[in-house]
Amino acid sequence: METTIITVQTTINKPLSAVWDCWTKPEHIVKWNFASDDWHCPAATNDFRVGGKFSYTMAARDESFSFDFSGTFVQIADKEHIEILLDDNRNVWLDFSESGNETTVVEKFEAENENTPELQQTGWQMILNNFKKHAESL
């Protein structure tokens, strides 16, 4: 069975160093890692090193549902690239590039089989849009 790769991206009006910090530090992750305002990320741990683990709790604000989004860092090129193996054995690749005072983030991931690729792309793009909003607010 062929694996579907989904791509989402955004360009943030901030320099790369600020964007990188927002992506990798738990105190920032809890402020952007959710797709809509009726969700939030009440907890995030991030052992940001090759072989290190991360876990981000994603929860409905009404407390009706929550889950942990977690995995292991496989490759890190400082302020350029992150490769992740999720706990469900899917891969995620992130690339960061800077042009002037803007940083582009391109995120590619292997689709899961529970939701349509279109729904997954929409959800991940909404999270990335929240990331942009948070990073630009600093």
In the predicted structure, residue 1 carries a pLDDT above the cut 80: no
CATH topology of domain 5-137: Alpha-D-Glucose-1,6-Bisphosphate; Chain A, domain 4 (3.30.530)
Quick one: average pLDDT of 95-108?
97
List Cα–Cα distances, 72 to 2, 69, 86, 88, in angstroms. 23, 11, 6, 11
Phi, psi at residue 30, to the nearest 5°? -65, -15
Question: 31-87: per-residue pLDDT in tens?
Answer: 999 999 999 999 999 999 999 999 999 999 999 999 999 999 999 999 999 999 999
pLDDT tens digits for range 121-137:
999 999 999 999 999 99
Q: How far apart are CA 85 and CA 98, in angstroms?
A: 25
What local confidence, expressed as pLDDT, does residue 2 receive? 83
